[in-house]
Amino acid sequence: MRQQIKRLAGTAYLHSPMGRRRLRGAGVVLMLHRVLADDSEAALPHRRALCIGRQSFEHLLQWLGRHFDCVPLAELLERPHGARPRVALSFDDGWRDNAEQAFPLLQRYGMPASIFLSTDFIGSHQRFWWEAIGEGLWRDPAAVPALIASLAELGHPLPALLREPGHSAERSAALAAYLQQLKALAPTTLQQLADSCPPAPHAETLDWSQVRDLEASGLVRFGPHGASHSILTQLDGAALAEDLERSRRTLAEHCAQPLAVYCYPNGDHSPQVREAVAALGYRHALATRPGLVDGRSEALGLPRIDVGQQAARDPSLLAWRIFRGAQA
């Protein structure tokens, strides 16, 4: 019942004179991460916040085309208002499936996108901690005894349900809750745990050749999402400056026209972080707080609307999120 109320309220807002007027005066920046080949894999509880199935992603693009003008992010930030509501797509991290699964559909529907890269991971075997730890535990906990022992020593023993193999929704939900708990650990600790995991069966992130090909298409542009994907508010001044500069320098080396837009890992920022970002020439920065972009928005803390599997499969729920964002 609650979900149905959200669907109805979101759809009603999108079609109401008040909603159309508000959306014509403000831009919507969507925040996405991954597009998987299989919708059922993306729908698992421990994946669905960051993953969208290919079929659902296509459904999302079709829905957006009916209700919005999909424009490049840089264009929306310069002019968020338009004759029709405007939306821009942003992808975080730099996953390989952005090229293999998302890009062919972006081409089919002629929709531009911006991808924000955590540059240390691009073209390398380094893994994001939630992927390395989460998928290691999901596939076969017996294959990662050292990881499980290390987690227990750090005060995070594995729940009984996760000690046994299986692929039930209940086990997936338990894994999602467990990964959320691990965010309390220091970023360096999490990365050390990830580096101790078995290597991925296939490359998980883009390589620089793919980045250049996507940029050459004219549909995709790239910006920085940190070098190490560290939470910037947890870094001291020197480490913060070094991480920001490393990502800026790497993008300048590999991209013809990197975006003058920064994207905060995990959305976390502070006055010190914003000052350091501005000092490198970034005029805008994306956070994760929900909301719409308009003339009142903080240029170095711009809001976005999060999209996962559920909202992509049923965009009336995305309309609800946009409605809520319009009230922020």
Q: Which two tokens stand for residue 262?
A: 């920064």
The token pair at 118 is 């955590």
CA distance 85 to 81: 7
Long-range contact pairs involving 76-79 (C-beta distance under 8 Å, separation at least 24): 76/27, 76/29, 76/293, 77/27, 77/261, 77/284, 77/293, 77/302
Average pLDDT over the chain reads 96
Average pLDDT over residues 259-280: 97
* pLDDT at position 88: 98
Over the Cα atoms of the chain, what is R_g?
Answer: 20
Q: What is the pLDDT of residue 283?
A: 96
> Average of pLDDT values for 206-219?
98
Q: How many CA atoms are closer than 13 Å to the CA of 89, on its beta-carbon side? A: 29
Q: How confident is the model at residue 225 (pLDDT cuts 50, 70, 90)?
A: very high
| Band of pLDDT at residue 328, cut at 50, 70 and 90 | confident
pLDDT-based confidence at residue 273 (cuts at 50, 70, 90):
very high
Contact 318, 51 (CB under 8 A): no
Give the whole-number percent of the chain exceeding pLDDT 90: 96
Asked whether the CA dihedral 274, 73, 203, 51 is positive or negative, the reply is: positive
Q: What is the pLDDT of residue 309?
A: 98
In the block, which residue shows the tokens 């692929």? Answer: 167
Nearest to 220 by CA among 32, 6, 22: 32
Can you tell me the distance from the alpha carbon of 42 to that of 19, in angstroms, rounded to the nearest whole number?
31
Q: What integer pLDDT is reported at residue 259 of this predicted model?
A: 98
Q: Would you kindly state where each structural domain of the chain is located, as residue ranges?
A: 2-125+203-327, 129-195
Confidence of residue 201 (pLDDT cuts 50, 70, 90): confident
pLDDT digits (tens, 9 = 90+) for 67-106: 999 999 999 999 999 999 999 999 999 999 999 999 999 9
Please give the CATH architecture assigned to the domain spanning 2-125+203-327. Answer: Alpha-Beta Barrel (3.20)
Three-state SS annotation for the chain? CHHHHHHHHHHHHHHCHHHHHHHHCCEEEEEECEEECCHHHHCCCCCCCCEEEHHHHHHHHHHHHHHCEECCHHHHHHCCCCCCCEEEEEEEECECHHHHHHHHHHHHHCCCEEEEECHHHCCCCCCCHHHHHHHHHHHCHHHCHHHHHHHHHCCCCCCHHHHCCCCCHHHHHHHHHHHHHHCCCCHHHHHHHHHCCCCCCCCCECCHHHHHHHHHCCCEEEEECCCCCCCHHHCCHHHHHHHHHHHHHHHHHHCCCCCCEEECHHHCCCHHHHHHHHHCCCCEEECCCCCCECCCCCCCCECCEECCHHHHHCHHHHHHHHHHHHHC
The answer for residues whose C-beta is within 8 angstroms of residue 318's C-beta and 6 or more apart is 10, 60, 63, 305, 307, 311, 312
Residue 288 pLDDT > 90: yes
What local confidence, expressed as pLDDT, does residue 187 receive? 84
Burial of 230 (C-beta count, 10 Å sphere; 0-12/13-18/19+): buried
Mean pLDDT of the region 129-135:
97
Over residues 227-231, mean pLDDT? 94
